[in-house]
Amino acid sequence: MAAEGDSGAVKRSGHLAALVLARGGSKGIPHKNIKKLAGKPLIGWVLRAALDSRSFDSVWVSTDSDEIEKVAKDFGAQVHRRCADVSKDTTSSLETIQEFLKYHPEVDIVGNIQATSPCLHPDDLTKVVDMIRKDGFDSVFSVVRHHLFRWRDVSKTGGVTAAENFNPACRPRRQDWSGELYENGSFYFATKDLITRGYLQGGRMAYYEMKPEHSVDIDVDLDWPIAEQRVKRFGYFGKGNPRAVKLFVCNIDGCLTDGRIYVNQGHESISCHLQDLDGMKLLQEKKVEVRLISERDISATLLSALHLPYRVEANVSNKQEAVERWMLELELSSWDQVAFMGCQYSDVECLKLAGMCGVPSNACLAAKMTDSFVCEYRGGYGAVLEFAEHIISLLGEARS
């Protein structure tokens, strides 16, 4: 982090609002701001980070769209319906923020967070707010460090090019060069005074350096699949601690199976995917206890036919009570030590409580709206393996 201007730090108070600009129209990607990324609306990723940081006096979305307004409110944000004059293709972010401030005079500082930065984490926002509040900076913006060799652009003028930030005769190794800082567009914080005077950066300025893996921006369709993979690996999925997970509980109905029941001459049958069984086996190898649960009164004959090497409890009317009984049996002190996979309305409370939670792609809306990892696959078609691999990847990252 670095600053320009005088060195005196004055603690700053006043109403600090997070503001996400989300116009309904998008030339590059239609309905981009609410298009599903890794199972959740794009704008939902940054809203959850802002709200979970607990660093803002208010969290807003400025939009001209009914659909975006609904999604924003579903995630817990307030909505400012911007006027038509600042909803054009040519409208700048600065103009839109100025219009917001005109209608919200109580706001003293704005943290403009880009909806297209889905790997943003609450910790980053908390640190930036401290820079504003405690260190007294007037503006703070996000950057990322790149180790890129730049050459003079002669595409229009012709002639001979030349290196601009290194000596070709003595090319530095990556480990011997600190690189350069580039704005990544993730956020711009500034005081109302600066913004009303026409600046998003000015006064005592500071940058906040984000991790490269968290520095993701989506502009065109080609960015989408790359961003989706980055989010699944490095995104913020709530406050769970992967190192704490000791128990994995999976709903049989609709997660391990596709939710369908096959009846033949009065005999029921269900099916599950062998890859999902492999996923649970991988968790066991990581010393995570695996248990299965079902609301249905599944017969002992049917359960034995599945050859599941895990403890199964069927005909469960209250899943939370069942999991808490297992926690007591395993001497687990909190839900932070539980990873839960569900898909039904009856799973929602467990999904909210669990330290880590996941849902298949065809889960009910209420389940998807929790802090869950939303799988690409449907229940019974590899979703359990996908969530298990996600947990294991985070376990490796946390313990390395």
Catalytic residues: 171
8 Å CB contact between 207 and 181:
yes
Quote the CA–CA distance of 120 and 294 in Å, as a whole number: 36
Whether the Cβ atoms of residue 87 and residue 185 lie closer than 8 Å to each other? no
Nearest to 391 by CA among 309, 291, 280, 294: 280
- Phi-psi map region of 158: left, alpha, beta (phi>0 left; psi -120 to 50 alpha): left
